[in-house]
Amino acid sequence: RSLLWDGFQGVSYGDARYVLAETDADPNNPNNVILVYLQTSVSGIWDEGATWNREHVWPQSYLADASYTPDATLRNEHIHIGTDLHNLKPSNPLENGSRGNKYFDNVSSSSAYEPHDSVKGDLARIFFYMIVMYEQLGLVDDPALITSGYLNMGLLETLLSWHIQDPVDDFELNRNNVIYQYQG
């Protein structure tokens, strides 16, 4: 944790929309971004969230209001746990809404969401980063312990297996290097 915090400099939620165009740029078309859940390539130009929006992999509702600012004008200026670039990914707005604040699992249901196989490890490692960086967060295996505002997500055993099944690839490595340039 101290290693991660050493030199850390967060970015604002507003700036994140432009940084994500770089962190998640399509390697075959750098003007596009790869959407996390659909794995499609779309224009990386920010159009107020019509084409893609900023998905919180660890849902905002499970950050105990740490990332909520009621004034929409100020929302893009704040820097906090909810603006950590590791936790933000470009997403299709409808698919982002479909995922909502469901935990990840190997099947989609009313409470769980199964992402594309090619990003399962990436998402697991985002969660692992989040629990190391922010000591108030926790990963659990019991879905009953995942409740809005209680700082828990899951499922830990599923995420651990995804980490092994989907190792780090060039896209994820590049993403982490770009984030390091902005956040330290």
Kindly report, residue by residue over 7-18, the tens digit of the pLDDT. Answer: 999 999 999 999
- 75 has a pLDDT exceeding 80: no
Q: What secondary structure letter does DSSP report for 102?
A: P
How many whole angstroms separate alpha carbon 72 and alpha carbon 87? Answer: 20
What pLDDT, on a 0 to 100 scale, did the predictor assign at position 80? 86
Burial of 82 (0-12, 13-18, 19+ CB in 10 A): buried
* pTM for the structure as a whole: 0.93
How many whole angstroms separate alpha carbon 1 and alpha carbon 182? Answer: 18
Judge whether 24 and 179 are in contact, CB under 8 Å: no
What pLDDT, on a 0 to 100 scale, did the predictor assign at position 85? 97
| Furthest-apart CA atoms within the chain: distance in Å | 42
**Could you tell me the CA-to-CA distances from 167 to 123, 125, 139, 176 in Å, in that order?**
11, 10, 20, 14
Q: At what angle do helices 170-183 and 120-133 cross, to 10 degrees?
A: 30
Q: What angle do CA 30, 67, 151 make, to 5 degrees?
A: 105
